[in-house]
């Protein structure tokens, strides 16, 4: 017998992926973990019978010869499948979008970095021309939307968006989708959100701002991740972490952040959990919220990966330097020839200041194009150290009318940073 399963704490992407697999592998049975997310539970309350899925509880694994794992890559994330992991005769097939933390050795693997796992399965269904009912299209759309924040998360690829379009074409019901993705808060969550706002602290690690809160919560309260995401947006911090303790001796840690600044998944894996660049969670056993918070903080400090130092991206100063005795007219040619907006004025090796294209225009208008540039050089050229990071450079650049920063080590000019240098850091060209 062939079965399909997914991770515990089953979300819509996981459920949608299991159901999509029942189309791709006729005869295979979906086996759902006992612990599914509350929204998924609500969905299953009226849809379970028309989906080819069974609960893990009471399901006998004895006849299983082939296992398809979707939206998961680690045995620990599955619901009691250990007996299969140690059996070499069982064929294992994986469909997943988690690139890190793999410990399931599969015979056939479809693992690609897309926003939702179900996107991979939908592409295959589309290729094979498998018909989709509007009800199934609705579930698949819930899968993509819930894993991508309705196509807002940076993990989204154009492939996810193409499948959204395909599902809408196939009759996905957007009203039903909205009803299940409704993120309004009930009283219990409103109370926790209030506490998060009140009790959180914002720490600066380098130039990165991180919000952290440690809270005791009522046991049984789930769906805390959206609160952390809301808190992050609300406070405008780069990353947010919640450390929640219910009754027992364990802490649930949830993190959300901007993927270019902090690798949340990396931090959570170090804590024994999992996740992506921008989102993840972990459970720390035998720790008080304070201990867990300390552990988390030291990992965040190491995990902030804005390591790009100015010296690795700066330009050599040559074409941006003008000698103090050169005339304004000549400096103006140098600017237009190189298509740049500013120059560093130097007297031999000493940096005197900066000269902008506006200075040249001013000189020309007042008939002073033949005066030396030192008469126009502004002393306040912004300077930055070679070991500084790009974010510091970006904030300095906002006030640099020359459009360049002088990179100095002590008194020595070692390079310049242009707006283009910084653009390349902000975008992944
Ligand atoms: Mn997923």
For a pLDDT cut of 90, what percent of the chain falls above it?
A: 53
Q: Ligand 1 centroid to 276 CA: how many Å? A: 10
Q: Report how far apart, in Å, the C-alpha atoms of 155 and of each of 227, 260, 309 are.
A: 20, 11, 25
Q: How confident is the model at residue 429 (pLDDT cuts 50, 70, 90)?
A: very low
Residues 6+ apart with CB under 8 A from 366: none
Distance CA 149, CA 168 (A): 17
How many angstroms is it from 330 CA to the middle of ligand 1?
60
Structure tokens at 6: 């997914």
**Chain centre distance of CA 87:** 36
Q: Which fold has domain 2-181?
A: inorganic pyrophosphatase (n-terminal core) (3.90.1640)
pLDDT given at position 423: 76
The class level of CATH for 187-303 reads alpha beta
Joined tokens for residue 134: 């509007």
Distance 13 CA to ligand 1 centre (A): 5
CATH 3.90.1640.10 domain span(s) along the chain: 2-181
pLDDT tens, 118-172? 999 999 999 999 999 999 999 999 999 999 989 987 789 999 999 999 999 999 9
Which one has a higher pLDDT value, 8 or 379? 8
Tokens 């005791």 -> residue:
216
User: Ligand 1 centre from 116 Cα, in Å?
Assistant: 5
What beta strand segments (E) does 305-419 contain?
Answer: 321-323, 342-347, 350-356, 383-384, 404-409, 412-418
User: From ligand 1's centre to the CA of 283, what distance in Å?
Assistant: 19
How many angstroms does the Cα of residue 163 sit away from the middle of ligand 1? 15
Contact between residue 98 and residue 11 where contact means Cβ atoms under 8 Å apart: no
Report the separation in Å between the CA atom of 323 and the middle of ligand 1, taken as the mean of its atom positions. Answer: 59
Task: Compute the distance from residue 319 Cα to the ligand 1 centre, in Å.
Answer: 49
Q: What is the pLDDT of residue 427?
A: 58
Tokens of 242: 């919640």
- For residue 328, report the distance from its CA to the centre of ligand 1, in Å: 60
Class (C level, CATH) for 310-426:
alpha beta
Among the listed residues 189, 222, 252, 248, the one whose alpha carbon sits nearest the alpha carbon of residue 41: 222
Contacts of 196 (CB under 8 A, 6+ apart): 213, 215, 227, 228, 231, 242
State the CB neighbour count (10 A cutoff) for residue 28: 20
- Cα(49) to ligand 1 centroid in Å equals 23
Distance 129 CA to ligand 1 centre (A): 23
Mean pLDDT of 186-211: 90
Interval between CA 226 and ligand 1 midpoint (Å): 15
269 contacts 164 by C-beta, under 8 angstroms: no
Instruction: State in Å: Cα 369 to ligand 1 middle.
Output: 64
pLDDT digits (tens, 9 = 90+) for 20-46: 999 999 999 999 999 998 889 888 888
Q: Rounded to the nearest whole angstrom, what is the distance from the C-alpha of residue 353 to the centroid of ligand 1? A: 53
Q: What is the pLDDT of residues 223-261, one digit of tens each?
A: 788 899 999 999 999 999 999 998 777 899 999 988 667
The Cα 230–Cα 257 span in angstroms is 11
DSSP 256-276: EE-TTTB-HHHHHHHTT-EE-
Sequence-separated (6 or more) residues with CB below 8 Å from residue 331: 322, 343, 355, 360, 373
The sheet carrying 321-323 orders its strands as: 321-323, 342-347, 350-356
147: CA distance to ligand 1 center in Å? 6
Q: How many CB atoms lie within 10 A of CB 34?
A: 12
Say if residue 213's pLDDT is above 50.
yes
Cα-to-centroid distance, 153 and ligand 1 (Å): 13
Q: Are strands 279-285 and 350-356 parallel, antiparallel or unpaired?
A: unpaired
CA of 426 to the centre of ligand 1 (A): 27
Nearest alpha carbon to residue 230 among 256, 212, 203: 256
């Amino acid at each position: 017998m062939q079965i399909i399963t997914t991770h515990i704490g089953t979300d819509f992407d996981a459920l949608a992926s299991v159901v999509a697999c029942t189309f791709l592998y006729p005869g295979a049975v979906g086996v759902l973990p006992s612990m599914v997310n509350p929204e998924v539970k609500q969905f299953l309350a009226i849809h379970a019978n028309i989906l080819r899925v069974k609960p893990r509880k009471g399901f006998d694994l004895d006849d299983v010869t082939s296992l398809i794992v979707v939206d998961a890559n680690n045995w620990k994330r599955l619901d009691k499948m250990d007996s299969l992991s140690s059996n070499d005769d069982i064929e294992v097939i994986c469909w997943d979008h988690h690139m890190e933390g793999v410990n399931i050795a599969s015979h056939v693997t479809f693992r690609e970095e897309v926003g939702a796992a179900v996107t991979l399965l939908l592409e295959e269904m589309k290729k094979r021309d498998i018909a989709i009912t509007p009800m199934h299209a609705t579930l698949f759309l819930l899968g993509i939307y819930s894993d991508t924040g309705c196509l807002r998360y940076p993990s989204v690829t154009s492939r996810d968006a193409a499948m959204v379009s395909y599902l809408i074409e196939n009759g996905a019901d957007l009203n039903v989708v909205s009803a299940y993705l409704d993120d309004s808060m009930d009283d219990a969550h409103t109370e926790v959100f209030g506490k998060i706002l009140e009790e959180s602290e914002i720490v600066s690690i380098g130039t990165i701002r991180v919000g952290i809160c440690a809270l005791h919560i009522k046991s049984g309260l789930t769906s805390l991740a959206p609160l952390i995401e809301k808190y992050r947006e609300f406070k405008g911090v780069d990353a947010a972490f919640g450390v929640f303790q219910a009754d027992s001796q364990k802490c649930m840690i949830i993190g959300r952040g901007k993927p270019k600044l902090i690798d949340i998944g990396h931090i959570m894996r170090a804590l024994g959990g999992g996740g992506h660049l921008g989102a993840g969670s972990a459970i720390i056993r035998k720790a008080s919220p304070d201990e867990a918070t300390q552990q988390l903080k030291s990992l965040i400090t190491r995990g902030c990966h804005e390591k790009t130092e100015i010296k690795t991206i700066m330009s050599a100063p040559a074409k941006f330097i003008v000698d103090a005795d050169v005339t304004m007219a000549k400096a103006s040619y140098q600017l237009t020839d190189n298509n740049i907006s500013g120059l560093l004025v130097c007297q031999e090796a000493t940096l005197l200041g900066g000269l902008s294209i506006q200075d040249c225009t001013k000189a020309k208008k007042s008939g002073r194009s033949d005066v030396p540039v030192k008469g126009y050089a502004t002393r306040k050229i912004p300077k930055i150290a070679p070991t500084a990071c790009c974010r510091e450079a970006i904030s300095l650049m906002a006030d640099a009318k020359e459009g360049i920063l002088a990179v100095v080590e002590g008194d020595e000019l070692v390079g310049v940073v242009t707006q283009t240098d910084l653009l390349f850091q902000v975008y992944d060209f």
